[in-house]
Chains A and B, each alone.
Chain A
Amino acid sequence: MIKNIVIVGGGTAGWMTAAALSRHLPEQCNVRLIESDQIATVGVGEATIPVIRTFNAGLGIDEQEFMRETNATFKLGIRFQNWGEIGEDYYHAFGYYGFPINDVSFHHYWMKMQKHPDTAPIHEYNMPYMASVYDKFEHKQFNNDSIDSRYFYAFQFDATLYAQYLRKWSEAKGVTRIEGKVTQVSQNNDTGFIESVTLESGECIEGELFIDCSGFRALLIEQTLKVGYKDWSHWLPVNRAWAVSTSYENNNTPIPPYTRARALTAGWQWRIPLQNRTGDGNVFCEQFLSEDKALDQLLENIEGKPINEPRLLKFNTGKRKKLWDKNCVAIGLSAGFLEPLESTSIALIQGAILLFIKNFPNKDFAPATENEFNRRMDIKYEESRNFLILHYHMTRRNDSEFWDYCRTMKIPEELQHRINIFRHRGHIAHKDSDLFIEHSWLEVLFGQGEKPGSYDPRVDTVEPQEVRRLLAEMKMDVARAAKAMPTHNETLARYCAGDLISNRNSK
Chain B
Amino acid sequence: MNNKEINSIIIVGGGITGVTVASAIAKSLPQIKITLIGKDNDKSEALSMLPQIHEFHRQLGIDEKALMRATQATFKLATIYQDWNNLGHRYTQPLGPHGAATEFVGFHHFATKMHQLGDKTAYGEYALSAVAAENNKFAHPLNDPSSIFSTMAYSLHIDATLYKQYLGNHLLQGNINFYTENVIDVCLDENNGFIKSVTLENGKNLKADLFIDCSGKDATLIEKALGFSLEDWSCWLPANRVLSVSIKSKGEVMPYTQVSGKTNGWLRQVPLLNTVEREFVFNSEEVSIPEATEIITTGLSQTTFTEPSLREIYSGQRKQHWHKNCIAFGSAAGEFESLEVSNLQLTQKAVQRFINLFPDQSCNQTLVNEYNRLTKLELDNIRDNTILHYLSVTKKDSTIWNQWRQHSLPESLKHKVSLFNIHGQIASYEHETFYDGYQASTFIGLNMWPDKYDPFLDSFDIENLKQRFNYLRAAIRDTVTKMPSHRHYLENFVH
Contact = CB atoms under 8 A, between A and B. Distances in A.
Interface of A: 1, 24-29, 58, 103, 354, 357-360, 362, 366, 368-369, 371-372, 375, 417, 420-421, 424-425, 427, 429, 431-433, 453-454, 456-458, 460-461
B31 A417 contact: no
B419 interface: yes
Contacts of B369: 417
A175 to B, nearest CB: 15
A461 B28 contact: yes
Contacts of B59: 103
B370 A429 contact: yes
Contacts of B364: 420, 424-425
Of the candidates A424, A427, A454, A460, the one having the most CB atoms from chain B within 10 angstroms of its own CB is A424
B423 interface: yes
A417 B370 contact: yes
A54 B173 CA distance: 50
A358 B430 CA distance: 18
Contacts of A425: 360, 364
Nearest to B59: A103
Nearest to B457: A26
B458 A26 contact: yes
B29 interface: yes
Contacts of B356: 427
Given A25-B455, A360-B454, A458 B28 contact: yes
13 contacts: A25-B458, A359-B423, A360-B454, A362-B451, A372-B419, A372-B427, A417-B366, A420-B364, A424-B364, A427-B370, A454-B360, A460-B5, A461-B31
B370 A458 contact: no
A431 B451 CA distance: 31
A431 B377 CA distance: 12
Interface string B341-360: 00000000000000111101
A421 B367 contact: yes
Contacts of A429: 370
Given A366-B418, A461-B28, A360 B366 contact: no
Contact of A427 (B357, B419, B454, B456): B357
B422 A366 contact: yes
B366 A454 contact: no
Contacts of B415: 368, 371-372
Interface string B11-35: 0000000000000000011110000
A202 to B, nearest CB: 33
A420 B455 contact: no
Interface of B: 1-3, 5-6, 28-31, 59, 104, 355-358, 360, 364, 366-367, 369-370, 415, 418-419, 421-423, 425, 427, 430-431, 451-452, 454-456, 458-459
Nearest to B423: A362
B456 A25 contact: yes
Given A457-B29, A460-B31, A360 B423 contact: yes
Given A24-B455, A417-B370, A456-B358, 4 more contacts: A354-B104, A417-B369, A453-B2, A457-B5
Nearest to A355: B425
Nearest to B352: A103
B367 A368 contact: no
Contacts of A362: 422-423, 451-452
Nearest to A420: B366
Contacts of A421: 366-367, 370
Contacts of A366: 418, 422
A460 to B, nearest CB: 7
B455 A1 contact: yes
Contact of A454 (B3, B104, B427): B3
A62 to B, nearest CB: 19
B32 to A, nearest CB: 8
A432 B455 CA distance: 26
A371 B456 CA distance: 21
Nearest to B374: A429
Contact of B425 (A58, A354, A372, A432): A372
Contacts of A357: 456
Nearest to A29: B455
A28 B28 CA distance: 59
B370 A358 contact: no
Contacts of A26: 455-456, 458-459
A354 B103 CA distance: 13
B156 to A, nearest CB: 21
A358 B366 CA distance: 36
Contacts of A460: 5, 31
A174 to B, nearest CB: 12
Nearest to A433: B430
B422 A24 contact: no
Contacts of A371: 415
B418 A368 contact: yes
A422 to B, nearest CB: 9
A5 to B, nearest CB: 11
B113 to A, nearest CB: 12
Nearest to B427: A372
A456 B423 CA distance: 45
Nearest to B355: A458
